[in-house]
């Protein structure tokens, strides 16, 4: 549910060195193009967040059980994270307009497939396809804007993303809850995905009419082998983890996790030997960057799992309807929006200290929620949840973007593209890992200890990971790059 969509930095990282002349596009058309790009990002964020609320309802309707609940969020983030960097480079190679149109068309069709899903397997495949086409779509946005906006106006264009993404982060779960409760035409949860037929269709028509044509550069390298190894590694690890937690640790999940570990090693070796690796080896020798990468993986995994478990607790433990659960998450989203805006203004002076502040705030909110569940259990009232939920959101918003802005504080300018793309992809993969790991702990404990203990163990794990992240802060670069340089 992050407000700062990681794909944005990938888009900036793949911005063309010599964009088309902005003067060729009229001012009115420039802002219309911005609206098209924003529409695509809104679609991506809405579909990334709606399953936080809808997963229990979908799993019950399709008889998917806990494994389906885990895959609905993890599958989307997995496909998006694995292919994000490649999507940006394909845009460089074959043209951003072409990849944008392929991405938005495929995303819309995959959304329809989600809405028409008839069993757990079909919706998981459709969610993977959504994420894959999203990875082709999202990285093109800032590159297209850079080719049509003059330098003195590009800042105004980019400033539209934060409030738009903030509204989407708040609105996604609410929209999901409202559509499920409204049960339009008896479609229930399916209407959340089928509405993209209209939203995506309008965006396709507008993009085909407005986006500037570009030929691309066929010499741009694309490491398909590296991406394939990364996909195999992550899929093996996630499948093994989810299947093992749902059906027991038989040879299948054990072999899957082992295979994922082997492919992870092969991916790392590929990064050292490939002519154009997804992650520049020099970045991994930079202590500040590596520390930030590890911290980011741990933190984003923890809070991604936290949000999923919080939604499950509200619906399964407290008996909330999807709409009421969505409203229960609004304080988190509001905190993210408020702190993200404030963090942008404070990072220049506080540097890595702001990251530590965000972690401590997140830890405070998680601890408060942990004490609340321990004392009240499933009798916890909605008003009691509001303060810790808001504090958790404030902590998350303080860290979103700030972590990675500081992480690139001492990298060389020529490494910026690889760094931005790598961090973006890692954030999405961390979302997938977190959704799988924390919910695995939740469901395993639920089977033996009940709802309250499952939530307590999950919150304790999140708190422990967040505390460990605090210890990594001193290894980060002291300052982020100047605001106008990243």
Domain covering 283-486 assigned CATH 1.20.1250.20 in the classification: yes
Tens digit of pLDDT for each residue in 278-331?
Answer: 777 777 788 888 888 889 889 988 988 898 889 889 998 899 988 898 888 889
Q: What is d(CA 324, CA 57) in angstroms, rounded to the nearest whole number? A: 13
C-alpha angle 466-468-407 in degrees, rounded to nearest 5: 85
Domain made up of 1-222: CATH architecture: Up-down Bundle (1.20)
In 3D, which of 214, 207, 9, 14 has the Cα closest to residue 94?
214
Neighbours of 398 (CB within 10 A): 29
pLDDT tens, position by position, 193-221: 999 999 999 999 999 999 988 888 888 88
pLDDT at 259: 93
Q: According to the model, what pLDDT value does residue 417 have?
A: 64
Q: Please return the burial class of 418, using the count of CB atoms within 10 Å of its CB with bins 0-12, 13-18 and 19+.
A: buried
pLDDT of residue 125: 95
Output Rg (C-alpha) for the chain, integer angstroms.
21
What is the model's pLDDT at position 115?
94
Phi first, then psi: give them for residue 304, nearest 5 degrees: -65, -45
Q: What is the pLDDT of residue 159?
A: 66
Residue ranges in the chain whose pLDDT is less than 50 = 1-23, 484-486
CA 315/CA 53 separation, integer angstroms:
9
Q: Are 361 and 395 in contact (CB under 8 A)?
A: yes
Closest to 53 in 3D by CA, of 298, 246, 308: 308
* This model's pTM is above 0.85: no
Residue written as token pair 């808001």: 390
């Amino acid at each position: 549910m992050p407000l700062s969509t990681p794909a944005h930095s990938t888009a900036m990282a793949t911005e063309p060195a010599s964009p088309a002349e902005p003067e060729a596009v009229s001012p009115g058309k420039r802002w219309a193009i911005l609206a098209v790009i924003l529409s695509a990002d809104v679609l991506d964020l809405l579909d990334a967040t709606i399953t936080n609320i809808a997963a229990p309802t979908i799993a019950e309707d399709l008889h998917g059980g806990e494994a389906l609940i885990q895959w609905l969020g993890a599958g989307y983030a997995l496909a998006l994270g694995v292919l994000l960097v490649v999507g940006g480079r394909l845009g460089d190679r074959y043209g951003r307009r072409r990849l944008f149109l392929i991405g938005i068309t495929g995303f819309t069709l995959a959304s329809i497939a989600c809405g028409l899903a008839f069993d757990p397997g079909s919706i998981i495949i459709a969610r993977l396809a959504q994420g894959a086409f999203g990875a082709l779509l999202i990285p093109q946005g800032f590159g297209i804007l850079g080719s049509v906006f003059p330098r003195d106006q590009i800042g105004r264009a980019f400033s539209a993303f934060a409030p738009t993404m903030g509204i989407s982060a708040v609105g996604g779960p609410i929209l999901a809850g409202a559509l499920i409760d409204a049960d339009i035409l008896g479609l229930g949860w399916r209407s959340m995905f089928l509405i993209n037929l209209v939203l995506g269709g309008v965006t396709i028509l507008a993009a085909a009419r407005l986006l500037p044509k570009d030929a691309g550069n066929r010499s741009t390298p694309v490491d398909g082998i590296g991406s394939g190894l990364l996909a195999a590694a992550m899929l093996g690890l996630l499948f093994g983890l989810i299947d093992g937690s749902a059906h027991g640790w038989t040879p299948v999940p054990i072999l899957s996790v082992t295979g994922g570990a082997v492919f992870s090693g092969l991916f790392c070796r590929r990064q050292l030997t490939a002519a154009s690796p997804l992650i520049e080896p020099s970045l991994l020798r930079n202590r500040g960057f590596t520390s930030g990468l590890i911290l980011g993986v741990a933190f984003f995994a923890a809070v991604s799992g936290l949000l999923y478990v919080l939604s499950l607790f509200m619906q399964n433990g407290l008996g909330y309807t999807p709409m009421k659960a969505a409203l229960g998450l609004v304080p988190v989203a509001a905190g993210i929006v408020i702190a993200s805006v404030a963090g942008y203004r404070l990072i220049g002076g506080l540097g890595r200290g702001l990251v530590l502040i965000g972690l401590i705030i997140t830890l405070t909110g998680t601890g408060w929620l942990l004490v609340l569940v321990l004392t009240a259990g499933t009798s916890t009232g909605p008003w009691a949840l509001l303060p810790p939920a808001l504090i958790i959101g404030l902590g998350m918003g303080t860290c979103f973007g700030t972590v990675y802005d500081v992480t690139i504080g001492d990298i060389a300018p020529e490494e910026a593209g690889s760094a931005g793309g790598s961090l973006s992809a890692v954030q999405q993969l961390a979302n997938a890992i977190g959704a799988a790991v924390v919910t695995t702990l939740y469901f395993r404990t639920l089977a033996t200890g009940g709802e309250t203990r499952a939530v307590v163990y999950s919150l304790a794990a999140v708190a422990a990971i967040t505390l460990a992240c605090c210890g990594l802060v001193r290894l980060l670069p002291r300052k982020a790059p100047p605001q106008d340089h990243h």
